[in-house]
Structure 1
C-alpha cells in the first residue's frame, strides 16, 4: 500500500499523519494519545527510550531525560543526558527514527513520500541541522515544509480558500511561536514577506507559569529535599498535573490541582482569569510578532480572509480573543490543532503519492454581496477596550466582559453572511454561516448546502464537549471529491463547527489500523449521552466573541456552559483525566503507621439490590420499591444493583486473613453480614445469574475457592491451592482462577459439572487477575513482560500464549483488568510511581484510546463495572484504610459509599 507520511517534530509533542488514496489519517504513535512526548531517555546501558516510555522512566531519573531539544537546534554546546553528550540534531534523529519505525509497522511498509515540518523562522543553518538529523535517521528523501504552510494546507482541505486569497497562520505550539502570511496559488501557498516568531515561547512556558504559581501558593509547605528520589518523583507528577490544569482551562473556567508531596497532600485552585493574567504578557509578544509579519508582507489586516490557528496552545480562549480584538478579522481554529501541522504535512505528499488535488473536496464559504467588494460587515469589538488598555490588561478585560457584543458593534451581526439572531441575543456565530436563531443554534448543513438532519446544533458544542456514542477518529475529506463516508454531507462540516447531524464529530479521520481516535474521546461503551448540548449561555468569565473577529463557540470563545451532571464526553484531551472534585486528603504517614500497628479485622460486604429474591437470610435487605422507582425516574441515580465489598473491622490480625461478606444497597447505611461468611473471605465474584457467589478464601498461607448461594446457603469448596480473583464463564458452568502448577501460578479453568481442571497457560512469566469475557470466549489477564505488567486476552478454545495484546509497555504497568458488560471496554488499575501508586484507566478491548478515568492523589484500584455499564466502583485509599467510591465513566456523579471511619474494599458489582 503506497502512502505519504507527514511528521511534525514539535518541541513538546510529536505527531504523524498518513495520506492514503487522498485520505489523511492521524497515526497513533503512543498508547495513550495519537501524539507522543518529544522525549528521549538514555538508559544506564546506553539504550534509548522514546516518547511515553521515556516520560515514565524520566520521572524517577530526570537527569537521563532529554526534553525540549528542538529549542537547542544549531546550538554548538552539547546536551548532557545521563552523562553522555548529544547534539540537538542527534536527539532529533532518534525521535524521527522512532516515528518512522512505528508508522512503518502500522502501515506494513515504508512510506512512498515523507514531509517533515520546521518553524517558519528557522534560517539556513538550523534547516541544515534538521537535514543532518534526517540523514542520521536514515529517512531517505524527505521534503521540508514550514509549519505555517503545513497548517494552511490542512485548513484548505476542509474549507475552500480561493486562489489569490490571503491568510495568516498563527502557530502557537509547545515550545515555539510562528506567524506567517500566505497567499493561495494553485495547489499550494506562497509565503509573503518574512515569517515572524518568538522562538522561546510556547505551552511549556505557560506550564512553568502554572507550576510556579502552585509552588508560590504552597510557600514554605513545599520545602523538599532535591536529593530525595521520592520528592523528585512527586514534583514530576505535580508538573504533569499543572499541565493538565492549564489545558483544562481552555474548556473549564476553574480547576483544582492535586498536590501529593512527601508530607503534604492538598489541592490548589486555579481559574481561567488567573491563568490569563500569567500568560497575557507572552501573548502580547505574539500579537506584536503578528503585526510585524503583516507589515513585512505588505498586507493590511482587512486584506486577510482569516487567521488560521495551529498548535496545541492556540486553543487557549484568550488567543482568539486577542486576535479578534486587535485585527478584527475572522479567527478559524482546527478542532485538533495539535495534529493540524502533521496532517498538512501529509497533504503535501499528495503530489508524489497521488490522490488528486488536496483541495477538491474543500467547501467554499458563502460571499454575500458587499458594497466594498469584500466580505459583508460583521460585528466585532471596536478598537479600544482590551486593545486600548494594552495587552497586559487584555486578559482581565476579556475575562470580565459581560456576555454580549462589545459596545459599539452591531448586535448579532453574522460572520460571513450568517443570519441575524432573533431577539438580539448575543450568540457566537459559526464561521462561514450556520446562523443561530432565537438564541438556539439550529441544525443545518455547512455553508448552506443540503437539508439538516437530526437534532444536533449547527455549531455544535465546544471542542472537547461534543456528545457522541462512540469514538471515531479524525480525518480530512478525500481529495478525490467523492462521496464522503458516513452520513455527513459532502465535504463534511467545517472544522470547529461541532458535530454533524448524525452526531459524529466534525472533520473526522476514519479509523483504520494505526489511525488515531480523537484524543480524549469516549470509548464505545459509557454513559448514554443523548445528543449534543444546545445551551448557548456563555461560561462565566468567557465573553462570546462575535462578528468579524468572531470565533465560534467550538473554538473556545463563549463556550456553552454544560451542567456538570450532564456534560457530555469527552473531557479535555489528556491521557484521559476527567473533571471531578477530588476526594478526601490522604492521611499523613504517621497515622497510617499507627493504623497498621493497631491491626484490623476484615470483612466483605454485599451491597444488595436482589429485589427478585425472597428474604431468606433473616435480615438481608432487598431493594425497596421506593429505591427502584427512584432509579427508574432518575437515570443519573447510582444503580442499586447488588455489590460485594470487603469491610475491615477492628481486630488484631492482618485484614486479608480475617474477613467476612456484608451487604448493603448504595445510598443506605445498613450493613448486613452474608450468612455463612467467615474470617478469611477476601475476593467475592457474582455469577452472571446473580444467584451464586464465588469466594477466594485465605487460611494462613493456604487459599481456596468456595461457592455459596446468594442467600448464604450451600457453601462448598470447589478448588484447592487456588487464589487470586475468580471469574465465571458466560453460562456460569465454569470458573477461571489462578492455580499453582509446579509452584508457578497459571490460569486454570474448572468445569463445575465434572470437576475437571484445565491448565490454560504454561509459561513461567508472572501473571495474574484472570477475568472471563461476557461472551465466554476469552480470558483477560496481565502478564509481566519485559518488566512491565501488560494486559493480554487469551482465547479459551485455542489458548496460544500469551494471546492478543491489549495494552503495551507504553501504557504502563496494568493490573486488575475487568470487561465492561458488553465486552467492548476494559477498566484496569494503572500503577504509578511515587506517592500516587495507582489510578483507574480505561481502554478499548482492541487497545484503542487508553486514558485515565480517576485522578485522586490517593491510591485508586480494583475497578468493577455496574451491570448497566454506565457506572463503575473502585477502592480509594491506603491498604489500611480503603473506601469504596462510585462514579460515572465521564468522572461525574462521584459518591463515596464508605462511611467515615469504616474500611471497605474489593467491590464486585458485575
Structure 2
C-alpha cells in the first residue's frame, strides 16, 4: 500500500500545543484525527527547555521531574511575537517567533516520523487580534526554519471550520476562547467559496484563564487548611514543603469539578494526610466574577460588529477552560443563543486547522497553480476576504500597522538545533 497523502493543522496556544491530521481517502478527505503529542495527553505544554548540555527539549521539565533552572525554560512566547525585546533562554537572546517556529517544527517532525511522509499542506493558527506585522514575523521565522508550505489562519476561523464540520449550518458564529493564561472573543461569518472571515475580535486587557482559576482554588484550600491546623503551624518548614504541590492537586480538582458535583483535595502534611471536600458550587463562586467579565467582553464584541445577539446563529466555546460548566451557563443566560462546546474543546482549533488545510488544497487545485505551495507570504483562503475588516485598520488599531520606533535592541540569535534529514526532536532528548 502506498503512503497516504495528508494535511496537518497545528494550534500553538499560550499554554498548550495540539495538532490534527486529515488524510486523503479516495477523492475526499477524512475526518480530522487528533495526534497525541504526549503519551498521556493529546496536547503538550507550549514550553521549550534548553538542557545543561545545550540540547533542546519540548514540554515542561518540571511537570514530571525535579525543579530545573527557570532561566533555561521558555514559555508564553506566542503572545510576545511583535515585541522586539528578546526573550533570554539559557543566557542567549532570541526572538519569540523563532521559538514558535522551533515548536512548530518539532510537531511537524513528530508527525512526519509517524506518517513516513511530508504533509501536503500545513495550517498554523494565530490569535485573531494579530495584524499583518505579527503574521509576517511568524511566517518569516517558519520559512527560515524550513516550513514553507504553511498557511496562517486566525484561531476563530479554524474553530468555526471544526464547528461547521460537526453540523453547524448558520452564517454568523461567535467564538469564545478561554485558555490557560488568556481569553479572546471573536465573531466570524461564512464566506464564498469557502471559509470564514473575522468580523470582530477582542482579547482580555489583563491575562485571565485557567491558571488563575487554579490559583483561586489553591488559595481557598490553603485557607481551609490553615483554619484546621492553625496559622502558627505555617512556620514549619516541613509544612511549607508539603504545601508546595498543592497547586497541582487543585488543578486536578478543577478538572474533576467540570464533570462532578464535588471532589476531594488530598494533601500529605507532616501531621498526617488531610482530605478536603470541594463542591462545584464553592468553586464557581470563586471564579464567577472573572467569568462574568469574559461574558461582558463577548457581548461587547458582538455589538461592536453592529450585530444584535439574536443575529448570531450560535456560540462556540473553545480552550481547555471552556469545559467549566459555569461558562456555558453564564453565556446562555446573558445572550440566549445556542451554546456548543465539543467533547475536548482544547483541540477544537487544531481539528479545524486540518479541515482548513483540506479546503485550501481543494481550492488551489481548482486554480491549477503549481507554485501555490512555495508562497513565502502568509495567505488567507484563496479569493476570501481579509481576516479583519478594513475599518479596523482605519480606526487606530496599531496591530494593522508597523510598530512605533523603539530604541535599537541587539538580538543574538539562540543557537537552536536545526533539523537534519531523518532527524527528529523528541521530548527530553533533543534532536535524534
Distance 1:85 1:167, change over 3 A: same
Structure 2 counterpart SS, 1:103: helix
The equivalent position to 2:22 in structure 1, one of 19, 40, 44, is 19
1:773 alignment partner in structure 2: none
Q: Does 1:146 align with 2:165?
A: no
Partners of 1:265 and 1:80 in 2: CA distance: 41
Structure 2 counterpart SS, 1:345: helix
- Work out whether residues 9 and 354 of structure 2, in 8 Å CA contact, stay in contact via their aligned partners in 1: yes
2:324 alignment partner in structure 1: 316
- Work out whether residues 148 and 178 of structure 1, in 8 Å CA contact, stay in contact via their aligned partners in 2: no
Partners of 2:11 and 2:72 in 1: CA distance: 24
Structure 1 counterpart SS, 2:108: helix
2:290 alignment partner in structure 1: 282
Q: Does 1:304 align with 2:307?
A: no
Distance 1:184 1:80, change over 3 A: same
Structure 2 counterpart SS, 1:33: coil
Q: Superposition pairs for residues 578-617 of structure 1, below 5 Å?
A: none
Distance 1:143 1:224, change over 3 A: farther
- Work out whether residues 58 and 65 of structure 1, in 8 Å CA contact, stay in contact via their aligned partners in 2: no
Distance 1:58 1:8, change over 3 A: farther
Distance 1:155 1:261, change over 3 A: same
- Work out whether residues 96 and 137 of structure 1, in 8 Å CA contact, stay in contact via their aligned partners in 2: no
Q: By how many angstroms is 1:114 displaced?
A: 0.6
Partners of 2:268 and 2:83 in 1: CA distance: 37
- Work out whether residues 37 and 55 of structure 1, in 8 Å CA contact, stay in contact via their aligned partners in 2: no
1:113 alignment partner in structure 2: 121
Partners of 2:178 and 2:343 in 1: CA distance: 14
Distance 1:85 1:223, change over 3 A: farther
- Work out whether residues 49 and 60 of structure 2, in 8 Å CA contact, stay in contact via their aligned partners in 1: no
- Work out whether residues 117 and 146 of structure 1, in 8 Å CA contact, stay in contact via their aligned partners in 2: yes
Q: Superposition pairs for residues 894-905 of structure 1, below 5 Å?
A: none
Partners of 1:182 and 1:146 in 2: CA distance: 10
Q: By how many angstroms is 1:54 displaced?
A: 6.3
> Per-residue displacement from partner, 1:162-215 (whole Å, max 9, x unpaired)?
5xx2121111122221111122233211222x2112162221221222223233
Partners of 1:195 and 1:324 in 2: CA distance: 20
- Work out whether residues 197 and 286 of structure 1, in 8 Å CA contact, stay in contact via their aligned partners in 2: no
Partners of 2:245 and 2:182 in 1: CA distance: 24
Q: By how many angstroms is 1:104 displaced?
A: 0.9
1:248 alignment partner in structure 2: 256
Q: By how many angstroms is 1:29 displaced?
A: 0.8
Q: Does 1:2 align with 2:5?
A: yes
Q: Does 1:207 align with 2:210?
A: no
CA RMSD of aligned residues (A): 3.0
Partners of 2:351 and 2:106 in 1: CA distance: 18
Distance 1:106 1:354, change over 3 A: farther
The equivalent position to 1:343 in structure 2, one of 348, 351, 361, is 351
Distance 1:287 1:58, change over 3 A: farther
TM-score (norm: length of structure 1): 0.37
- Work out whether residues 31 and 810 of structure 1, in 8 Å CA contact, stay in contact via their aligned partners in 2: no
Distance 1:223 1:214, change over 3 A: farther
- Work out whether residues 332 and 338 of structure 2, in 8 Å CA contact, stay in contact via their aligned partners in 1: yes
Partners of 1:68 and 1:255 in 2: CA distance: 30
- Work out whether residues 303 and 309 of structure 2, in 8 Å CA contact, stay in contact via their aligned partners in 1: no
Q: Superposition pairs for residues 187-586 of structure 1, below 5 Å?
A: 187-192=194-199, 194-198=200-204, 200-219=207-226, 220=231, 221-223=233-235, 237-260=245-268, 265-354=273-362
The equivalent position to 1:134 in structure 2, one of 139, 142, 146, is 142
Distance 1:810 1:261, change over 3 A: farther
- Work out whether residues 61 and 67 of structure 2, in 8 Å CA contact, stay in contact via their aligned partners in 1: no
Structure 1 counterpart SS, 2:346: helix
Distance 1:3 1:40, change over 3 A: same
Q: By how many angstroms is 1:273 displaced?
A: 1.9
Stretch of structure 1 that moved more, 265-274 or 202-211: 265-274
Larger fraction in helix: 2
Partners of 2:114 and 2:39 in 1: CA distance: 13
- Work out whether residues 125 and 155 of structure 2, in 8 Å CA contact, stay in contact via their aligned partners in 1: yes
Structure 2 counterpart SS, 1:19: strand
2:400 alignment partner in structure 1: none
1:755 alignment partner in structure 2: none
Structure 2 counterpart SS, 1:349: helix
Partners of 1:45 and 1:90 in 2: CA distance: 20
Q: Superposition pairs for residues 584-733 of structure 1, below 5 Å?
A: none
Structure 2: gaps of 5 or more residues: 366-425
- Work out whether residues 94 and 137 of structure 1, in 8 Å CA contact, stay in contact via their aligned partners in 2: yes
The equivalent position to 1:97 in structure 2, one of 82, 93, 105, is 105
Structure 2 counterpart SS, 1:268: strand
Q: By how many angstroms is 1:81 displaced?
A: 4.0
Partners of 2:243 and 2:364 in 1: CA distance: 50
Q: By how many angstroms is 1:354 displaced?
A: 4.3
Q: By how many angstroms is 1:324 displaced?
A: 0.6
Partners of 1:243 and 1:355 in 2: CA distance: 43
TM-score (norm: length of structure 2): 0.74
2:167 alignment partner in structure 1: 159
- Work out whether residues 59 and 236 of structure 1, in 8 Å CA contact, stay in contact via their aligned partners in 2: no
Structure 1: gaps of 5 or more residues: 358-808, 813-910
Q: By how many angstroms is 1:356 displaced?
A: 12
2:49 alignment partner in structure 1: 41
- Work out whether residues 54 and 65 of structure 1, in 8 Å CA contact, stay in contact via their aligned partners in 2: no
Q: Give the paired residue count.
A: 354
Structure 1 counterpart SS, 2:21: strand
Partners of 2:97 and 2:138 in 1: CA distance: 6
Q: By how many angstroms is 1:269 displaced?
A: 3.1
Structure 2 counterpart SS, 1:348: helix
Partners of 1:212 and 1:355 in 2: CA distance: 52
Distance 1:128 1:810, change over 3 A: closer
- Work out whether residues 12 and 37 of structure 1, in 8 Å CA contact, stay in contact via their aligned partners in 2: yes
Partners of 1:100 and 1:312 in 2: CA distance: 23
